[in-house]
Amino acid sequence: MSDTHVTDAIVQVCAAQLAPTLNVKSFFDDASSTASYVVHDPATKMAAIIDSVLDFDAAAGRTDTASADAIIEYVRDEGLTIEWLLETHAHADHLSAAPYLQTQLGGTLAIGRDIIRVQEVFGKLFNAGTEFARDGSDFDRLFDDGDHFSIGSIPAIALHVPGHTPADMAYVIGDAVFTGDTLFMPDYGSARADFPGGDARQLYHSIRRLLKLPPETRLFLCHDYKAAGRDTYVWETTVGAQRSGNVHVHEGVGEEEFVAMRTARDATLSMPALIMPAVQVNMRGGHLPAPEANGTRYLKIPLDAL
């Protein structure tokens, strides 16, 4: 589907929601600086959970569902029906709680189709056996660029926004966009593009595409890291605020300038603390590796490979 065609379709979806009818509830995980969302259509109480977190104590090798249980409590209190469990990408900084939430609340687990490329790369890195299918079947639905779906009566569209990883998606739902790891708050900039399969040039074009949306479009980010001089976490902004004020990609910043900045900055960043556990769980749709003969599940750490 052409860029213009998809952008036109998105603008139509946004225009269909003149008032901010989509209800958005945020859950912020301090440990990984991740914002998860429960979004719902007030008219039908149909809902989606976006980028949930399974708590993980790496030192102890222990998972915990406290963050996910807070989401479950909210969903039950509000009387919501979960239609979708949406992942913007295979996260490298936290484990997804989507499979756990699905057992408790139902819903269709979805991600972008290029997760297959991510599964191929990380399947090799972790030397996963043949039980790891690498065909996207750990998910229930693989979105292509421009795919339409809905949450109750609210129209939505999946947008392929590669760069941070090959498979990143942004979800346009009513008048709101869930940007995943493309943009961060205007004072913090953009996501890194140096993970396997990442590409700063692609990220630039993905961001430019998002910023073609109407200026009043609400943007909900996947992370906030408190830019220097700011004491509170913030994870909601607008297209207009990003166009005028994003420190990395405000209007007027060209592709070459962005790529040079992003590449130089990425060279200074260390790997996220949870990249090894996160990626080998999230490449499986958040499913933990199968137990070994003694009944215990194990994660691997490839040495000198990243």
Nearer to Fe ion, 91 or 284 (CB): 91
Dist CA 78 CA 38 (whole Å): 11
Binding mask 163-192 for Fe ion (x = CB under 5 A): ------------------x-----------
Angstrom distance (rounded) from CA 271 to CA 159: 27
Alpha carbon 225 to chain centroid, angstroms? 16
Q: Which is nearer to Fe ion, 83 or 181 (CB)?
A: 181
What is the C-alpha separation between 95 and 52, in angstroms, rounded? 8
- Measured from the CB of residue 102, what is the shortest distance to Fe ion in angstroms? 21
Closest residue to Fe ion, judged by C-beta, is 181
| Minimum CB distance to Fe ion, residue 85 (Å) | 17
d(CA 103, CA 44): 22
- Which H, E and C letters describe 91-143, residue by residue? CCCCECCHHHHHHHHCCEEEEECCHHHHHHHHHHHCCCCCCCCCCCCCCCEEE
Name every residue whose Cβ is closer than 8 Å to that of residue 165 and which is 6 or more positions away in sequence.
89, 90, 118, 181, 195, 197, 198
Does position 29 bind Fe ion by CB under 5 A? no
Stretch binding Fe ion (CB under 5 A), from 88-96, 118-126, 212-220, 240-248 = 88-96
Region binding Fe ion by CB under 5 A among candidate stretches 21-29, 83-91, 247-255, 273-281:
83-91
Span from 8-16, 40-48, 84-92, 269-277 in contact with Fe ion (CB under 5 A):
84-92
Strands 176-178, 169-173: parallel, antiparallel or unpaired by DSSP?
antiparallel
Closest distance to Fe ion from the beta carbon of 81 (Å): 28
CB-wise, 91 or 218, nearer to Fe ion? 91
Binding positions for Fe ion, rule: CB under 5 A? 91, 181
